[in-house]
């Protein structure tokens, strides 16, 4: 992984911690057609040179890649966020890559409900350490991950999240890869794309469980919009703290923050180059963007509000922090209707409890 990619996809921190981060970010705008991809970039991944049988399976992903198979994939291995998303629709993966547990053995938020599976093989939890041999032993029909690139033809870096470029050919020789985009369009688009993929993999989106989850998601969207409207002037920041720096998410790139702003939340523009995921602040600069509410990254590798408050006076003295107006940023939570409905409810509750005149 190059230094440039790390700068784009992760906060700039020490080399040891950098390998443990899973923070996305990219400058691209996804070019997706009605089937979810740019047909001009499409290629076909199929075990048959003659293409799939009439009863076969086909899906065009957000890199513009069309995967054709002779039948619906039954054995899916997926990056942890993608795996948890599909599981919320009833699609149980046989394997996963990416971190599912924290150092204290609690579940990562990206893992969602994967802990409910009796058996789930991991083929690599750390970035850059995907075990190709173990992946092959699981005999997947399909591999699912995220992408921070607009298309294969336009990709500047490794296009498949958590699939190192040096082993991409080996991975694709095992099974075709489908990637769902997490840049460009607000996150409700990502949610709808995963729902489409889950349906293609056999999920019944009209089932009581899945239809109910979608109803809660839609109601939660309306409720969050109403909560924001009821607090005119309320400003918010989404941050991730590490020992050396405080990183502030760019609402033009972070798909969930972009969506919250689309729903009316006042998230200030940042002083960053176009397409940069983060504005990097020294702790002395922590007060650069006054805000009424601070939403903090809840992933295992990021510092907690309590840790930052104890160790960094500039953070503890932020008006929002001093007033206790801090919330959870559910960064990299599953992109399902079920999971996102819970995220919306949590965000709305924090906003309703906040005073818009703190900053």
| For residue 52, pLDDT beyond 80 | no
Please write the tens of the pLDDT for every residue from 148-190: 888 888 888 899 999 999 999 999 999 999 999 998 789 999 9
Strand 177-181 with 236-241, pairing: unpaired
DSSP conformational letter for 52: -
| For residue 2, pLDDT beyond 80 | no
Q: Distance (Å, rounded) from C-alpha 332 to C-alpha 204?
A: 24
Please write the tens of the pLDDT for every residue from 283-330: 999 999 999 999 999 999 899 999 999 999 999 999 999 999 999 999
Which residue's entry shows tokens 């230094």? 3
Q: Distance (Å, rounded) from C-alpha 140 to C-alpha 69?
A: 12
* pTM given for the model: 0.84
Residues in the chain: 359
- Structure tokens, 22: 């899973």
Residue percentage of the chain with pLDDT more than 70:
85
Cα dihedral 142/148/152/155 (nearest 10): -150
Confidence of residue 55 (pLDDT cuts 50, 70, 90): confident
**List of domains in the chain:** 3-203 (3.40.50.1980), 212-352 (3.40.50.1980)
Confidence of residue 85 (pLDDT cuts 50, 70, 90): very high
Q: Distance (Å, rounded) from C-alpha 354 to C-alpha 348?
A: 10
Confidence of residue 359 (pLDDT cuts 50, 70, 90): confident
Residue percentage of the chain with pLDDT more than 90:
75
CA-closest candidate to residue 25, choices 181, 166, 193, 191: 181
Q: What is the mean pLDDT of the chain?
A: 86
Confidence of residue 11 (pLDDT cuts 50, 70, 90): low
The pLDDT value given to residue 247 = 98
Query: Mind giving me the DSSP string for 271-329?
Result: S--TT-SEEEEEGGGTTSS--SEEEEE-STTSPPHHHHHHH-HHHHTSHHHHTT-EEEE
More confident residue, 118 or 1: 118
């Amino acid at each position: 992984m190059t230094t440039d990619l790390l700068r784009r996809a992760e906060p700039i921190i020490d080399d040891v911690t950098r390998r443990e981060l899973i923070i996305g970010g990219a400058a691209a705008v996804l070019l997706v057609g009605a089937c979810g991809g740019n047909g001009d970039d499409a290629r076909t991944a199929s075990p048959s040179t003659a293409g799939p049988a009439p009863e076969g399976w086909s899906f065009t992903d957000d890199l513009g890649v069309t995967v054709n198979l002779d039948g619906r994939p039954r054995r899916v291995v997926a990056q942890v966020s993608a795996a948890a998303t599909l599981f919320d629709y009833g699609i149980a993966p046989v394997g996963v890559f990416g971190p599912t547990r924290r150092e204290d053995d609690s579940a990562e938020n990206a893992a969602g409900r994967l802990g409910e599976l009796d058996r789930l093989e991991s083929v690599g939890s750390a970035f850059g350490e995907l075990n190709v041999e173990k992946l092959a032993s699981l005999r997947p029909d399909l591999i699912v991950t995220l992408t921070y690139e607009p298309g294969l033809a336009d990709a500047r870096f490794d296009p498949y999240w958590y699939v190192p470029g040096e082993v991409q050919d080996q991975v694709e020789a095992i099974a075709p890869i489908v990637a769902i985009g997490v840049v460009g369009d607000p996150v409700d688009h990502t949610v709808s794309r995963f729902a489409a993929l889950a349906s293609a993999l056999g999920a019944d989106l009209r089932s009581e469980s899945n239809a109910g989850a979608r109803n809660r998601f839609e109601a939660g969207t309306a409720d969050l919009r109403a909560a924001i409207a009821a607090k005119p002037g309320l400003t918010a920041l989404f941050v991730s703290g590490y020992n050396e720096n405080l990183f502030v998410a760019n609402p033009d790139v972070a798909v969930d923050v972009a969506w919250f702003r689309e729903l009316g939340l006042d998230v200030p523009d940042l002083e960053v180059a176009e397409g940069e995921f983060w504005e990097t602040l020294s702790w002395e600069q922590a007060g650069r963007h006054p805000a009424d509410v601070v939403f903090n990254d809840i992933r295992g590798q990021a510092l907690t509000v309590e840790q930052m408050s104890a160790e960094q006076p500039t953070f503890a003295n932020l008006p929002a922090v001093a007033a206790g107006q801090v919330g959870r940023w559910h960064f990299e939570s599953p992109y399902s209707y079920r999971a996102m409905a819970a995220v919306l409810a949590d965000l709305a509750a924090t906003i309703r409890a906040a005073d818009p005149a703190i900053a």
